[in-house]
């Protein structure tokens, strides 16, 4: 969100593509049976409209990070096809839980300070994923024969609107949710003036995920609902990041 690189795609490729390539080749040469690659839902795109993303949707990455993750997926598939190593790709959405960083932690701090947020008028739906549920999915994909060669999208059981997420975080932090009504069109205009178009777009837009494939094929279920996941995140926040 605050990328100052002259060529962001080159920087992302150096880590996400070339770094993964080196690791995958070393793993294949060492006889590793299966490699789990953590990709991103950004490979699918930035927002949904009529239906959630699924594994059947064609990749449409919109930024340098998403492009590099998609390129890394293809490179890993090629290495797996040319060796005895199996590859599994997981595409999670925004993660939260103990140790969370970035915009989610920033939002928690704003709510903890009691600052008002002009976001009550937003009507969207976004999928998130609790870190514990991601770990469970990784463990399943390490050993389940059905996972070999697959790509899976992951998400919590329920999606959430931006205002409801703020209310959930506030409840977990035992703070009031200070949400104010404000026209979304004016939020977009203010974001453009402030150079925060992408940030505002994420607050306003929907990004939903259909995670039914991994549930059906591997019997995976999120280990916690959002309320419990936010409670664990708030407990960590009070202990370490307050």
Q: Which residue has the tokens 């690659």?
A: 37
Q: Is 65 a catalytic residue?
A: yes
Q: For the stretch 189-227, what's the b/e string if a residue is b when 16 or more beta carbons lie within 10 angstroms of its beta carbon?
A: eebeeeebeeebebbbbbbbbbbebbeeebebebebebe
Beta partners for 128? 94
Region class of 69: left (phi > 0), else alpha (psi between -120 and 50), else beta: alpha
Q: What are the angstrom distances between the C-alpha of 128 and each of 22, 23, 64?
A: 30, 28, 21
Beta partners for 200? none
Beta partners for 95? 129
Closest of 60, 25, 41, 70 to residue 152, by C-alpha: 41
- Given the residues 65, 130, 152, 237, the one annotated as active site: 65
Enumerate the active-site residues.
Answer: 65
């Amino acid at each position: 969100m605050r990328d100052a690189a002259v060529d962001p795609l080159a920087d992302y490729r150096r880590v996400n593509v070339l770094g993964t390539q080196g690791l995958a080749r070393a793993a294949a040469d060492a006889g590793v049976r299966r490699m789990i690659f953590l990709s991103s839902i950004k490979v699918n795109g930035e927002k949904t409209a009529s239906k959630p993303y699924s594994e059947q949707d064609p990749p449409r990455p919109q930024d340098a990070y998403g492009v590099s993750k998609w390129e890394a997926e293809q490179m890993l598939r090629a290495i797996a096809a040319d060796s005895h190593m199996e590859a599994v790709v997981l595409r999670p959405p925004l993660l939260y839980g103990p140790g969370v960083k970035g915009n989610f932690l920033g939002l928690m701090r704003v709510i903890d300070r009691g600052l008002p947020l002009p976001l009550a008028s937003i009507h969207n739906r976004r999928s998130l994923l609790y870190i514990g549920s991601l770990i469970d999915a990784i463990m399943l994909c390490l050993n389940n024969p059905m996972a070999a060669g697959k790509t899976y999208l992951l998400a919590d059981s329920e999606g959430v609107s931006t205002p409801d997420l703020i209310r959930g975080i506030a409840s977990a932090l035992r703070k009031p949710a200070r949400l104010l009504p404000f026209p979304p069109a004016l939020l977009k205009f203010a974001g453009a003036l402030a150079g925060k178009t992408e940030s505002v777009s994420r607050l306003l837009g929907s990004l939903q995920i259909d995670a039914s494939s991994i549930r059906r094929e591997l019997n995976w279920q999120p280990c916690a609902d959002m309320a419990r996941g936010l409670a664990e995140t708030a407990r960590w926040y009070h202990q370490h990041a307050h």
